Every structure is written in C-alpha cells, then in structure tokens.
Amino acid sequence: QVQLVESGGGSVQAGGSLSVACVGSGFSYTQYWTAWFRQAPGQDFEWVSGINSDGDMTIYADSVKGRFTISQDNAKTVYLKMDSLKPEDTARYYCAVNRERLLPRFPPESSDFIYWGRGTQVTVSS
C-alpha cells in the first residue's frame, strides 16, 4: 500500500523560512515524479514544484521560483525548502506521486498524480 507522509511546516513571519518533507513507502516504481501542491482555504489545488525520481529534473511554479527549492535524498524523501515566505504562501502543502517517467503537461495538474499525502500546514504571518 502506497503511503506518503508529509512533515515539517508550521508558522513563520513573512520573510522567514520553513521546510517540509515527504516520505514515501509501499511503492517500487523506478520512474515517477513527486510534486508539491498547496491548497489555501476555499481555493483549488495549486501546483508548486516537482522533481523526477532520478532527482536530476526539477520544476517550479512562477510564484515560488527563486524562493523554493525541491530536493530528494537517497532514501527518496523529497524536501521543499521555502525561503522568503510571503503571507500568500499560507496553505496546506501536499506531496503527490505519479507513476510515469514523463509529465503529461506543464504545469502539472492535480489529476496527473495518483498518490497523495494528507498534507502539512504552512502559515505565514505578515
């Protein structure tokens, strides 16, 4: 059974930094993408960033480019380092995994991903 568990997050003032992590288990796919999405109250899912399973391709939404950094370690834990946070970054952050070597579109949509974690809250105060 595939499981994705997010951790990290929390509350920070604008301009600060936070990191979130996503630990996956129960899947043995060798080619896939891991993405971070976020959802603010009353809003749709917004794609934030993605990394391929080899870790050599990373993509970012324009809204976070230059401020957020996605990475992964040898254990396939995927991290999202968030710097220069803004109040509009406040949302629940979810990691998601597909089962494809390629993404069907850019920017990715939530429907492109099969497995989802339960999310972790990030709150940025002004």
Low-confidence ranges of the chain (pLDDT < 50): none
Q: What percent of the chain has pLDDT over 90?
A: 87
CA 120 to CA 93: how far, in whole Å?
5
Distances 49 to 26, 31, 64 between C-alpha atoms, Å: 23, 17, 8
Predicted pLDDT of residue 83: 98
**pLDDT value of position 119:** 98
Q: What is the pLDDT of residue 121?
A: 98
Q: What pLDDT is stored for residue 28 in this prediction?
A: 81
pLDDT for the residue 115: 96
pLDDT of residue 53: 93
